[in-house]
Amino acid sequence: LYCSYTLLSEKLTQMMEWASKRSVIRMNGDKFRRFVKAPPRNYSVVIMFTALQPQRQCGVCRQADEEFQVLANSWRYSSAFTNKVFFASVDFDEGSDVFQMLSMNSAPTFLHFPSKGKPRRSDTYELQVRGFAAEQLARWVADRTDVQIRVIRPPNYAGPLLLGFLLAVIGGLAYLRRHNLEFLFNKNVWAFSALCFVLIMTSGQMWNHIRGPPYAHKNPSTGQVSYIHGSSQAQFVAETHIVLLFNAAITMGMVLLCEAATSDMDIGKRKIMCVAGIGLVMLFFSWLLSIFRAKYHGYPYSFLMG
């Protein structure tokens, strides 16, 4: 019993020393087996299994690592920090034996190793459903460890600077044309601005901002890249861009049809606009419906494409 207590004390001391230097402890196979797998252990370890080396070409891993660092830093530098839970990472090129030991074939993956017993199914983070935003990871950690982490992000001045630049440009244009502000009352300008805003919102950009999903998913076994998520409960960033493009094309087709019916141009040009509008609506609506069918399995309707 004394030896077990001494060993646990040494492990805790070592883990605290590593955590004081880096919020996310880097582990290889030996460290993992000694400090995570082997008893005794009265602390939880949340590990991100990743592949950050450039030759692995895992862009999602880099994005997930940034969010994981935000979460770990928020915990390490909070007043509530204790030795109850630690954050660590295992890179494939430094701990491939750990990947083999756990039969793991994808990255990034987040696992929670509880202080007692073996990991359960709920100790594997549902990355494809919840995304890898630090706030979502913090909720999962709270569910598994009862440790509440208030995520504190470093200040990001890009948004305010961009907004300030945009306002300065608008103010400069208004000043230069201060004697002729009719463009502010142009219906087409306001209609185009409103349409862009609607397309951005309906494509799922707000969901991306809240959940922080990966841009796409690359299967580490086959190398195949998926841009459309197979579930109706999640999406990729690339998927929202595709949906935005398709909705914009359908809208353009409808605008062309309206112009063909109401414009004063000659009949030949109006016929071309009509055919182009019908083509855009039919083609891109069919593709959009195909995406919907792929995400909502069993949906019975299709158009042009199965």
What DSSP string describes 122-150? GGB--HHHH-S-HHHHHHHHHHHH-----
The pLDDT tens digits of the residues spanning 4-51 come to 788 889 999 999 999 999 999 999 999 999 999 988 889 999 999 999
Alpha carbons within 13 A on the beta-carbon side of 300: 0
Tokens of 243: 């949906």
As beta bridge partners, residue 90 has 27, 49
Query: What was the pLDDT predicted at 179?
Result: 74
pLDDT tens for residues 218-262? 766 677 788 888 777 778 888 888 999 999 999 999 999 998 888
| Mean pLDDT over each residue of the chain, to the nearest integer | 86
Dist CA 164 CA 166 (whole Å): 5
Of the chain, the percentage scoring pLDDT greater than 90 comes to: 39
* Band (183; pLDDT cuts 50, 70, 90): low
Q: What's the sign of the alpha-carbon dihedral 106, 107, 108, 112? A: positive
Specify which of 77-86, 151-160, 164-173, 257-266 reaches the highest per-range mean pLDDT. Answer: 77-86
Name the phi and psi angles at 188, rounded to 5. Answer: -65, -40
| Positive or negative torsion for Cα 7, 11, 16, 18 | positive
Taking the CA of residue 54 as centre, how many other CA atoms within 13 Å lie in the half-sphere pointing to its CB? 0
Dist. CA 123–CA 144, nearest whole Å: 7
Distance CA 57, CA 93 (A): 13
What pTM does this model have?
A: 0.60
One-letter amino acid of 214: P
146 has a pLDDT exceeding 70: yes
Q: Is beta strand 44-50 parallel, antiparallel or unpaired with respect to 85-91?
A: parallel
Contact 63, 215 (CB under 8 A): yes
Least confident of 86-90, 96-100, 234-238: 234-238
In the chain the first and final C-alpha atoms are separated, in Å, by 66
Phi, psi (5° rounding) for residue 298?
A: 95, -5
